[in-house]
Amino acid sequence: MLIWFAVMGIVVTWAVFQSPAIDYRMVALGAVLPVVEVPFGAGPLHTLLAPTAVLTAVMLATRGRRLVRRRWLGLPIGMYLHLVLDLGWTRTETFWWPFLGRSFSPGAAPEVGRGWVGFALEAVGVAVGVWAYRRFGLDDPGRRSRFLRTGQLDREFVAGGGR
């Protein structure tokens, strides 16, 4: 389930912040990062502690460097969005780890326990991705190149303008 998290992370971040300056590539990376632990079950990356620790590290490491901070803030934003998009708070032991105990919720990670719903979410992710590609004018080679190089969307398309 990579497309669902990456695309929806970008679109939700755009809908909330409407900022052309966010590095949306980092948001997508943060949104898919917890998937790396799926073969082992839900672990620390599926907890509230992980994105909070990453956010704290980014804020401390980038003091006085606004542009660097702007780029790296996308990572914890994406990690928080993974928890939202994955309904992470429904697995209480894992979500609040280590505050409610030292063990994680039993069973497989949420991403693999959905069956056909997981495939439906990926299909929704593809459809929303096609919409976003058009909405943000990424069919234009210049805009697409800028997005791939900097992670930024064209100001004209982000602030309600565009097509």
Residue 18 makes CB contacts below 8 A (sequence gap 6+) with: 158, 159, 160
Mean pLDDT of 131-159: 89
Angle in degrees, 0-180, between the axes of helices 49-61 and 74-85, rounded to the nearest 10? 170
Rounded Cα distance, 143 and 94, in Å: 40
The first and second tokens of residue 133, run together, are: 């590609």
> What pLDDT shows up at residue 21?
84
Whether 163 has a pLDDT exceeding 60, the answer reads no
Buried b (16+ CB within 10 A) or exposed e, 144-161: eebbeeebbbbeebbeee
Residue predicted with more confidence, 93 or 32: 32
Return the C-alpha torsion angle 136, 139, 142, 143, nearest 10: 10
- Phi, psi angle pair for 37, to nearest 5°: -95, 5
Within 10 Å of residue 107's Cβ, how many Cβ atoms?
A: 12
Rounded Cα distance, 4 and 38, in Å: 15
User: What is the length of the chain?
Assistant: 163
Whether 103 has a pLDDT exceeding 90, the answer reads no
> What pLDDT shows up at residue 85?
94
Domain positions in the chain: 3-158
Rounded Cα distance, 59 and 77, in Å: 12
pTM over 0.85: yes
Residue predicted with more confidence, 84 or 106: 84
Whether 158 has a pLDDT exceeding 70, the answer reads no
